[in-house]
């Protein structure tokens, strides 16, 4: 059996309860996989509530488009930064 964990933050994303949300996967040999759809869902909730969001690392194992990837430790932060690039400054 498999299921996707849904984290419904919207009721608390009012800048009174939660000022910023930071998401990251676990590292190490026994790390649990991070489903990228979960990251996208949380980011969308934050964007809709105008709450800052940060995806700081993929973790050792990332599931994206139904495929499980192993991300070496030195690349976990840079790969996360590529997922949601910052807009170019004017």
What does the pLDDT profile of the chain (90 residues) look like in tens digits? Answer: 334 556 788 888 876 788 899 999 999 989 999 999 999 999 999 999 999 999 999 999 999 999 999 999 999 999 999 998 866 543
How far is residue 32's CA from residue 60's CA, in Å, rounded to a whole number? 8
Domain extent, residue 66, equals 20-83
User: What is the total count of domains within the chain?
Assistant: 1
| pLDDT for 87 | 63
Domain assignment present for 88: no
Domain assignment present for 14: no
């Amino acid at each position: 059996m498999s299921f996707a964990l849904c984290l419904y933050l919207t009721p608390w994303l009012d800048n009174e309860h939660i000022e910023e949300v930071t998401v990251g996967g676990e590292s190490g040999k026994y790390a649990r996989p991070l489903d990228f759809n979960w990251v996208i869902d949380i980011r969308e909730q934050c964007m809709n509530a105008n709450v800052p969001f940060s995806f700081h690392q993929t973790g050792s194992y990332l599931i994206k488009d139904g495929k499980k990837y192993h991300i070496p430790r030195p690349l976990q932060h840079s790969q996360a930064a590529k997922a949601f690039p910052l807009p170019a400054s004017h």
